Amino acid sequence: MSRLAIDYDKCILCGQCVEACPFNALELKDRLEVNENCRLCGICVKTCPVDALAIQRGARATADLDSYQGILVFAEQRGGILASVVKELIGKGRELADKLGQKLYVVLPGKDVDPLIELLKQYPVDTIYAYDHPELSYYRAETYTAVLEDLIQDIKPGILLIGATQVGRSLAPRVATRLRTGLTADCTILDVKPNGDLIQTRPAFGGNVMAQIITPKHRPQLATVRPKVMAPSETALDYPTEVIKRKIKPEMLKSRTEFLSIEPKPQETSITEAEVIVAVGRGLKKAEDMALVEDLAKKLNGMVAVTRPLVEAGWASYTQQVGLSGRTVRPKLFIACGISGAIQHVAGMSSSEVIFAINKDPDAPIFQVAHYGLVGDFYEILPALIEELDALKTGSK
């Protein structure tokens, strides 16, 4: 364990280190003493005129890397419905497992999970570990953390993948803390080295940098993955999946949270599920002009999305925002109208099957990710598109 060491033979009790410490961690009594406020920042070491202070770094414990094998995916479910991100995690998990020549596991906590087991068996998973108990009907941090800890301590996976959903963002840091391992949140790209190190790529510094992070000394390697950034797994109906139902230990069900009643959230259509999206950005001159974008989206049976400035201006709801601080989408068709293509926005829509961009600036970054681009004013182009769609519908063309 690291600590601040004091050489009392050298210390002259000058008090300079006490004055320099920003955390009030040093006190002059009969001799210099360190209290619990010390953050090992090193300012006192640099300040000391007689070199009486030093930070002694203890050796960090590392995991036995060879004893951890396989990829484990957390199968999130709510009310018996599997989260869509699980299929995406299975697809990426299968890819990583095949690269390493290892197995892919899924852990499924819940109540009456047999139908979900049958659903998961349609995908290329080697083993499904199911925890079935009424107390696991809904997510509770303590119980779900205990479930994952119980399984991980037993099967020792090298990698754990969790969806970056509301549940996943609550669960993942608790599991990482319990297992004393690292966590990379909101990953958009995952790859693996031959030695098993997981290369976790995520946006940093407001999306201006794509950081690559590894956890070389600890296991399991834990990452949360943003929904819709990875392709869902293909089905594999004849895959020889093993199902193991795990026993629930009473201590795993202890929780400080008690459910008194459950009020289902009203169903609402989300842009994350849309197959066609018409998105608009700073090129929109006034809020009333949103009707033009909405008209095109309606003709295409799609939904309207926006960039962050329009939400901040109060012209659209935050639920319509696409980007790092909004939703990540993966539609079959994404039409970008008057969107420059800042990396913060592109990170939320670059996985779309077809991207069609309209922008007056021929050098707009959006054209670098678009499959098709049209240089021009969308105020002129959209009415023409709508007219063409109407003509096709009526058969006049």
Cβ neighbors of 18 (< 8 A, separation 6 or more) are: 26, 27, 28, 32
- What's residue 144's pLDDT? 95
Residues 41 and 85 in one domain: no
SS3 229: coil
Does a structural domain hold residue 138?
A: yes
Number of domains into which the chain is organized: 3
Nearest to 176 by CA among 165, 185, 167: 185
In this structure, the answer to whether residues 87 and 116 fall within a common structural domain is: yes
Neighbours of 327 (CB within 10 A): 21
Cα 314 → chain centroid = 27
pLDDT at 396: 60
Same domain, 49 and 175: no
Could you tell me if 236 and 95 lie in one domain?
A: yes
The CATH number of the domain holding residue 18 is 3.30.70.20
pLDDT tens readout for residues 11-25: 999 999 999 999 999
Domain end among 19, 35, 56: 56
User: What pLDDT, on the 0 to 100 scale, is given for residue 59?
Assistant: 61
Whether residue 300 contacts residue 333, with contact meaning beta carbons closer than 8 Å, is answered with yes
Q: Which is it for strands 77-78 and 81-82: parallel, antiparallel or unpaired?
A: antiparallel
Q: How far is Cα 174 from Cα 170, in angstroms, rounded to an integer?
A: 7
Domain membership flag for residue 262: no
CA–CA separation, 5 vs 27, rounded Å? 14
Residue 343 CA, distance from chain mean position? 17
Do 48 and 79 lie in one domain? The reply is no
Please check whether residues 79 and 99 belong to one and the same domain. Answer: yes
| CATH of residue 75 | 3.40.50.620
Segments forming the whole domain that contains residue 27: 3-56
230 and 203 fall within a common domain:
yes
Same domain? For 193 and 238 the reply is yes
pLDDT confidence of residue 308: 93
Rounded distance between C-alpha atoms, residue 334 and residue 303, angstroms: 10
> Each residue's pLDDT tens digit in the chain (397 positions)?
688 999 999 999 999 999 999 999 999 988 999 998 898 999 999 999 999 999 988 766 567 888 999 999 999 998 889 999 999 999 999 999 999 999 999 999 999 999 999 999 999 999 999 999 999 988 999 999 999 999 999 999 999 999 999 999 999 999 999 998 999 999 989 999 999 999 999 887 766 678 899 998 899 999 999 998 899 999 998 899 999 999 998 888 988 888 787 777 777 788 988 999 999 999 999 999 999 999 999 999 999 999 999 999 999 999 999 998 888 999 999 999 999 998 889 988 988 999 999 999 999 999 999 999 999 999 999 999 999 998 887 766 5
Structural domain contains residue 128 = yes
Domain end call among 39, 56, 73: 56
CATH number at residue 388: 3.40.50.1220
Residue 267 lies in a domain: no
The predicted structure's pLDDT at residue 36: 87
Residue 266 domain-assigned? no
Shared-domain flag, residues 185 and 219: yes
Mark whether 148 and 229 lie in a shared domain. Answer: yes
